[in-house]
Structure 1
Amino acid sequence: MEDLLFESVRYSVHSDSFDVAQLANYSLHLRIHQSCLTIGVFDAENNECLVLESYHYDTAQNTTALIVNLHNIVQKHSFLNAAFWKNVHIISALPSFAFVPEGIHDEESKQNILSLISKFHQKKDNIHVHPKSGETELCFAIPKELEEWLSDMYSNSQVSYNHTTESFIVEANALFGNVLHCYIDVDTILITKSDDEKVRFANTFKYKTPQDLLYFVLFVLEELNIDQQEAEVVIWGEVDFHGESIKTLKKFINKVSAGTRPTDVRFAYQFDQEPQEQTAIDIIGNMKLNK
């Protein structure tokens, strides 16, 4: 199992300031995706990101498989199974989410919307609703089985739930403005576009090849009536900016750039080399939202 943990790590960076004996003073941030787990530890008192780690696993086709993947990492991890944290923040990167008009108040309508765009199951999923600016609400679903597992593991800490789009959109727009933002995971791409503070587009697509990525980006540009020659696209996530996927995008879109790390959170020199600056923007944003 230890070998499995080592083989699944994509990066693991710790500040010299990180002290396992001080976990009760830190907040833990877990970004849960069907194919990967990203970990962040934040010291709010000193406004410092202390830890960023990422692990990949076989894409989970159901909640039970996802929990097994997470359990395998947690049980062999040096501090993830610690009982006492100041706070635990779960960032769902699962595809069941929607921005809905603020006027839709009844639960059934929100369930119907999530059912239309994802594999939402009323008996198996919990809905979370977060009011947003621009007269919309962010609705997202998390499997009840996953919430129960997390609550049991962190029973001594307060556990909160957010969706990756929440902090990602805020941070990406703050850093680069209302351009097209693409967060690329192992097998999904999240594409967002805002006008001022209003979310104009936000959706997740599954992909297998660089050509798939290109297709979805061009599709969204066409849907938004944005000329691909004039479009500005900023890339985020754990993707090689010099790899084939980005090279393919650049053949058709002139203005493609990599995201950068926020400057209003402290990072020690250990983070100078990895992870790449466009990585974990939603975790860092979540740290800021939950100071």
Structure 2
Amino acid sequence: MALRIQPHISYIDKSFKASHTRSYIMAMQINLHGLAFTIYHPDRNKFVVLQQYRFDEKKKPTDYPLVFDLILNDNPWFAYPYMDFYCLFQNNFNTLIPLPLFNKEHKNLYLGFNHPFQENHRIVFDELKNTGSANVYYLPNPVAEKVKEFWPNATILHYSTALIESLTVHFKNRMDDQMLFMDVHEENFDLVYFKGNRLFYANNFLFRTKEDFAYFLLSVMEQLSLNPEDVRLLLLGDIDKNDEKYPLIYQYIRHVDFIPENKGFHYSYLMDDVRRHRFFTLFNVLQCEL
């Protein structure tokens, strides 16, 4: 790995003060293709920092301690103490269990039904208060240990936990049965569907081609009895109108929109050109009860 790491995007508001990090909240999203983080100023209700790093090659969990150290070399305030710190780790080794059926003593069995054993990982779970479920997942030990070394007060969550809870809070009392949420990543996507204002479906799909992408989407819609003429597909994550997958989606589904930003927050003017749907979960994890 190179001895320097440069952000793909970097916005640092002039109001940000490294000496005041104990008054800020930091949230970070990690996967093996890159990471992004925000810094939020609660007193001003404003996001004052947004940085994103993208890797040319897919990393391994064991690479992340060095990645953090390289970011720290250029930004000493990166590892300063913050009022709160949220780390959203993104992988597809997770399983949702309804809370009435969940026993934390059996968490390894839940994962064993759906996922192969992962060496150098720990099995942990998040409780989704708004949906009445537990999210059990593999968390890489090198990531967990480095996060806790830098930020001892860190709350570590599976990315899908924050995604589902953010959607639940953001669309509270505004959800309808024709809304389907698609969160797109580099090689996979999450589909989340609520019925009767309750979580009904959530799953993650790996894809190699745009045809795979369309096939899985349409198959799930058929499974959920959602009509492509009526469903409203709300997109978030790593996709925009210039993406090759977008016209393919639009070819089959009549109503396609990007998820609206949360107007309850303020954002640095430097972020005016940022497509907020790309960082929806990262921005909105702060309002979740986690």
Instruction: Settle same-fold status: TM greater than 0.5.
Output: yes
Match for residue 97 of structure 1? 94
Deviation of 1:195 after TM superposition, in Å, equals 1.8
The yes-or-no answer on 1:168 pairing with 2:163 is yes
Match for residue 286 of structure 1? 285
Partners of 2:117 and 2:126 lie apart in 1 by 15
Deviation of 1:232 after TM superposition, in Å, equals 1.4
Partners of 1:287 and 1:200 lie apart in 2 by 24
Classify the secondary structure of the residue corresponding to 1:241: coil
TM-score, normalised by the number of residues in structure 1: 0.87
Amino acid at match of 2:71: V
Partners of 2:222 and 2:70 lie apart in 1 by 41
Match for residue 26 of structure 2? 28
Task: Report % sequence identity.
Answer: 15
Alignment of 1:255-270 (within 5 A): 255-270=255-270
Partners of 1:51 and 1:121 lie apart in 2 by 34
Amino acid at match of 2:163: F
Equivalent residue in structure 2 for 1:159, among 154, 163, 167: 154
**In the TM superposition, what whole-angstrom CA distance separates every residue of 1:193-252 from its partner, at most 9, and x where no partner exists?**
112442111111122222222112112112212122222111101223232111111111
Moved more, 95-104 or 74-83: 74-83
Unaligned runs of 5+ in 1: none
Aligned residues: 284
The yes-or-no answer on 1:17 pairing with 2:21 is no
**In the TM superposition, what whole-angstrom CA distance separates every residue of 1:127-152 from its partner, at most 9, and x where no partner exists?**
12314334422333312332112112
Unaligned runs of 5+ in 2: none
Partners of 2:156 and 2:189 lie apart in 1 by 21
Deviation of 1:163 after TM superposition, in Å, equals 2.4
Match for residue 192 of structure 2? 192
Classify the secondary structure of the residue corresponding to 1:279: helix
Partners of 1:262 and 1:141 lie apart in 2 by 30
CA gap of 1:201–1:66, structure 2 versus 1, over 3 A, is farther
Instruction: Please say if residues 130 and 165 of structure 2, whose CA atoms lie closer than 8 Å, have aligned partners that are also in contact.
Output: no
Instruction: Please say if residues 111 and 120 of structure 1, whose CA atoms lie closer than 8 Å, have aligned partners that are also in contact.
Output: no
TM-score, normalised by the number of residues in structure 2: 0.87
**In the TM superposition, what whole-angstrom CA distance separates every residue of 1:45-89 from its partner, at most 9, and x where no partner exists?**
2211111221112223x4214444x33642444146433222221
Alignment of 1:99-114 (within 5 A): 99-114=96-111
